[in-house]
Amino acid sequence: MFHYLSSRSVDSAGHSHPGPEKMTTLAMLTITADDGTRGYAFGPPEVIRPTVIEAFVRKVLVGQDPFDRERLWQDLVHWQRGSAGQLTDRALAVVEQALWDLAGRALKIPVYKLLGAYRDKVPAYGSTMCGDDLPGGLATPDDYARFAVTLVQRGYKAIKLHTWMPPVSFAPDPAMDIKACAAVREAVGPDIDLMLDGYHWYSRTDALTIGRALEKLNFAWFEEMMNEQSIASYTWLAKQLDIPIVGPESISGKHHSRADWAVAGACDILRAGVPGVGGITPTMKVAALADAFGMNCEVHGNGAANLAVTAAIKNCRWYERGLLHPFLDYDVVPGYLHALPDPMSADGFVQLSQQPGLGEDINFDYIAAHTVTNY
C-alpha cells in the first residue's frame, strides 16, 4: 500500500470529480513465482485488503503453478461463496491480473499477444466525469460542449458523456441530460461518435424519452439509464429503441449474467470490464459469448488490463479513456508509473505497450519511497 499524488476526489455517491491535489492510497499486489518472476496489479486498498489476501488468496495461490490461471481462478470463485462478500469480483480481478502480468513477464511478451492479438492499437473514446456544479467545470450543457471541442482537438474521435447525478442539486433531470447531449452534438458536428451514460435509475418512460432524443442526435449508444437489476426493464427498452443499448456494467454474475441479458434481448451490445467480472479471462469469456451471439462487447473502464482485452478481441469498437474533466490532465503520468499505460496519439488511437506483461511501466523506486504498509 502506497501513497501517490492525485487531484481526484470522490463525492458522497462515489463519483469522481476534480479536487485539491492530495496524497491518495493505492495497493499493489505482487505475486512471486519460485524462479523469482513477479506479476503486479494495482487496486484500491479497500478491495485488495490484507485480510482478503490472508484468508483466500494465499490459500489458493501459494505453492501452485501461476500458469494454472483457470484452476486458480475457479478455486477463488469457490471461495467467494463462503467469503461473506469479502472476496469480491474486484479483488479476484486484481489477483488474476497479476497472474497475467506474471505470465507475460515470465514469457517476455505483452499480455495482449499472449491472448492472441487482434490489433496493436485501439481507437479511444473520451469518457467524461459525471456532471458537477463547479463553475467552468461540467456544470452546464455549454460546459460539456466546450469540453467536447477540446477533446476533439486532443484527437478523440468519440466522446461519452456522464451527466449529472445526485448529490448535484438539480440531478437527475432528463431534460438537462438531453440538452447536454444536444449541445455536444452541435459543438462537435456529425462525424464524432457520441454516447450517453447518465443517471442510472431513470424510470422506463424517462429512459424511453431520453433514448428517442439520442436517436435524433445520432448517438452511438445509450448506457445504464435504469437499474440493471431489472432485465425486464432493459428488454422493454431495447425492443423499442433503435439506438443500441449497452450493458450490463454494474451487476454481479460475471459472464453468466451476461448470457441472461443476451438471451433476453436486454441489450444490443454487451458490456464487461476486468474489475467488474473478476479478471481478464472472464472478460474474454463475455467477449466470446457476445461474439457467439453476433454482438459486440464494449469493455468497461480504462487501464492496462482492459486495454489488453480490447486489443485481443475483434468485437469491441473502443477503448474507454478517462475519466476526463476540464480541470484535469489525463495525460499526466501518476508518480507510481514511468509512463501512461494508455498513451493516445493525436489521431485518437491508443498504442499497446510492447513491454512484457500488462505493459504498466512501474516506478518501483517511487512506490518504495511512498509505501505506507508492506504486507
- Three-class DSSP category at 124: strand
Q: Can you tell me the distance from the alpha carbon of 197 to that of 130, in angstroms, rounded to the nearest whole number?
A: 9
Dihedral of alpha carbons 269, 148, 199, 86, sign: positive
By the rule CB under 8 A, 239 interacts with a copy of itself: no
Interface stretch with a copy of itself, choices 50-58, 197-205, 257-265, 302-310 (CB under 8 A) = 257-265
Interface with a copy of itself in residues 268-307 (CB under 8 A): 281, 284-286, 288-289, 291-294
Residue number, 70 or 331, with CB nearest to a copy of itself = 70
Residue number, 195 or 269, with CB nearest to a copy of itself = 269
By the rule CB under 8 A, 146 interacts with a copy of itself: no
Classify strands 270-272 and 245-246 as parallel, antiparallel or unpaired: unpaired
Please state the closest distance from residue 305 (CB atom) to a copy of itself, in A.
14
Dihedral of alpha carbons 39, 41, 47, 48, sign: positive
Dihedral of alpha carbons 106, 110, 113, 115, sign: positive
Please state the closest distance from residue 171 (CB atom) to a copy of itself, in A.
35
By the rule CB under 8 A, 113 interacts with a copy of itself: yes
Q: By rule CB under 8 A, what string of x and - marks binding of each residue 55-74 to a copy of itself?
A: ----------x-xxxxx-xx
Residue number, 82 or 294, with CB nearest to a copy of itself = 294
Please state the closest distance from residue 264 (CB atom) to a copy of itself, in A.
10
Interface with a copy of itself in residues 302-331 (CB under 8 A): 312-314
Sequence-distant (6+) residues with CB within 8 A of 324 are 126, 127, 128, 129, 147, 151, 330
Among 256, 331, 364, 369, binds a copy of itself (CB under 8 A): 256
By the rule CB under 8 A, 93 interacts with a copy of itself: no
Classify strands 38-43 and 16-32 as parallel, antiparallel or unpaired: antiparallel
- Give, in order, the Cα–Cα distances in Å from 195 to each of 163, 243, 257, 321: 11, 10, 23, 13
- Count the residues of the shown chain that bind a copy of itself, applying the rule CB under 8 A: 38
Residue pointed to by grid coordinates 439520442: 214
Please state the closest distance from residue 334 (CB atom) to a copy of itself, in A.
29
Residue number, 117 or 134, with CB nearest to a copy of itself = 117
By the rule CB under 8 A, 109 interacts with a copy of itself: yes
By the rule CB under 8 A, 263 interacts with a copy of itself: yes
By the rule CB under 8 A, 114 interacts with a copy of itself: yes
- Write out the H or E segment, with its range, that includes residue 14: none
Phi-psi category of residue 210: left, alpha or beta, with phi > 0 → left and psi -120 to 50 → alpha: alpha
By the rule CB under 8 A, 22 interacts with a copy of itself: no
Classify strands 121-128 and 349-351 as parallel, antiparallel or unpaired: antiparallel
Contact 358, 308 (CB under 8 A): yes
Residue number, 156 or 261, with CB nearest to a copy of itself = 261
Please state the closest distance from residue 61 (CB atom) to a copy of itself, in A.
14
Q: Can you tell me the distance from the alpha carbon of 30 to that of 35, in angstroms, rounded to the nearest whole number?
A: 14
Contact 342, 149 (CB under 8 A): no
Interface stretch with a copy of itself, choices 35-43, 175-183, 258-266, 364-372 (CB under 8 A) = 258-266
Scanning the chain, the segments in alpha helix (DSSP H) are 50-52, 58-61, 69-81, 89-107, 111-114, 141-154, 174-188, 204-216, 231-240, 254-264, 274-277, 280-292, 304-312, 364-369
Please state the closest distance from residue 41 (CB atom) to a copy of itself, in A.
16
- Three-class DSSP category at 246: strand
Please state the closest distance from residue 46 (CB atom) to a copy of itself, in A.
28
By the rule CB under 8 A, 116 interacts with a copy of itself: yes
Residues at the contact surface with a copy of itself, assessed by CB under 8 A: 65, 67-71, 73-74, 103, 107-109, 113-119, 255-256, 258-259, 262-263, 281, 284-286, 288-289, 291-294, 312-314
